[in-house]
Amino acid sequence: MKYLPLVLANLGRHKIRTVLTIASVTLALFLFASLRTVVTTLHANAQFGSARRLVTLNATGLVFVLPMAYANKIRALPGVESVSWANWFGGHYGDTKQFFAQFAVDAESYLAMYPEISLPEDQKQAFLHERTAAIIGKRLVDRYGWQVGQNVTLQGTIFPGDWTFTIRGVYTPTAPQIGDDVLLFHHEYLDERLGHAGIAGWFIVQIRDPGAAAAIAKAIDDQFRNSSAATKTGTEQAFQAGFATMLGNVSLLMGTIGTAVVFAILLVTANAMMMSARERTGEVAVMKTIGFSDRTLFGLVISEAGVIAGAGALLGLGAAKAFYRAINFNGFGFLPGFDITTGTLVMGGGIALLLMLASGLVPAARAARLPIVQALRRVE
């Protein structure tokens, strides 16, 4: 501790340079934390899903619908406990460009199947008993100031026209992957407006035994194999993992960018430390003359690198954690549960440590090995 004023005084020698170096480390670690959290959130979301829930899609693709009549046939299969269904709505609210997801769901079976969607019982009942009712995540309340009882009109894109819903509840997701910026409304209302078209985007099938998932999925698909709309069924986790596979290159891209940024900042910091050490050749010689040992001088220079890396880490990682939490960031609905994890903070701290060693070792070793007489002669 007695050397701290000396370390700080040396860092204060070129205040602007020190501040800029700390700022670059701060930015690097902020970016690292952000990019890594995109990856961890994508992976966490890919892992989400109950092993007891299967998802049945149109085998041709997600955008193709299935006949609602399939629900009864699926329900009749052995091992199936219940069936629900949903449709992607894709509406806009007013002239806002902000995106949020809306799903038309078979309300009663859907809420029973997703206990992660938590809302007060009275609100749930109000929703279930009103055909044009909707429930929303808390984020939409914060974003638009909507209140329970308010009518909200969306402009349909896939299903054209104005769609007015009455908000009857505000849910809180108990799993972040559910997302808190979703509007759920009755599939029945959608079906009615579509002239009882009898279509569903996908089915969610709750099974009794997760061990039988593969057999039940095969049974479902076999049943519709030769129909006009063949199905593709898998566990909800596999369904989410499919998205993760699609996003695999995004993860790689994020990782590559993160590494490149940290490496670039390492060079900047190392250069600043080298310059700082070179400028003090004479002073290091004077300190050695006074009796400072090679080890002490090594420690002092490394400590300077440590203060820079430490301050940068504290600011960068702290700012990332505080910033994303303060704005309740969820990647415009694509990254629900986005939060800087402890693992990311620890990894950021590790990078700061490596940064300290990589940028401080060479100038510290140089200072320690500096021959006094040669150094004095060089500066005279």
Per CB under 8 A, residues contacting another protein are 2-3, 5-6, 9-10, 12-13, 282-283, 286-294, 296, 372-373, 376, 379-380
259 vs 293 by CB, closer to another protein: 293
Element (H, E) at 156: strand 151-156
| DSSP for residue 177 | G
Chain centroid to Cα 374, Å, comes to 55
Relative to beta strand 117-118, strand 151-156 is unpaired
229 vs 286 by CB, closer to another protein: 286
* Shortest distance (Å) from residue 23 CB to another protein: 21
How many residues in total does the chain contain? 380
* Shortest distance (Å) from residue 352 CB to another protein: 24
* Shortest distance (Å) from residue 19 CB to another protein: 16
* Shortest distance (Å) from residue 291 CB to another protein: 2
**CA–CA separation, 110 and 235 (whole Å):** 16
One-letter identity of residue 300: L
Tell me the HSE value of 87 on the side-chain side, using a 13 A CA sphere: 25
21 vs 102 by CB, closer to another protein: 21
The CA–CA distances, whole Å, from 79 to 75, 182, 237, 238, 295 equal: 9, 31, 19, 19, 71
* Shortest distance (Å) from residue 273 CB to another protein: 16
* Shortest distance (Å) from residue 22 CB to another protein: 17
For 70-134, give the DSSP string. Answer: HHHHHHTSTTEEEEEEEEE--EEETT-----EEEEE-HHHHHHH-TTEE--HHHHHHHHT-TTEE
* Shortest distance (Å) from residue 299 CB to another protein: 12
18 vs 206 by CB, closer to another protein: 18
5 vs 195 by CB, closer to another protein: 5
108 vs 283 by CB, closer to another protein: 283
10 vs 84 by CB, closer to another protein: 10
85 vs 292 by CB, closer to another protein: 292
* Shortest distance (Å) from residue 311 CB to another protein: 18
**Residue 228 burial (CB count, 10 A):** 6
Q: At what angle do helices 342-369 and 248-279 cross, to 10 degrees?
A: 30
Strand, helix or coil for residue 157: coil
Q: What are phi and psi of 174, to 5 degrees?
A: -85, -15
* Shortest distance (Å) from residue 283 CB to another protein: 5
Q: At what angle do helices 4-11 and 294-326 cross, to 10 degrees?
A: 70
65 vs 286 by CB, closer to another protein: 286
The CA–CA distances, whole Å, from 328 to 305, 323, 325 equal: 34, 8, 5
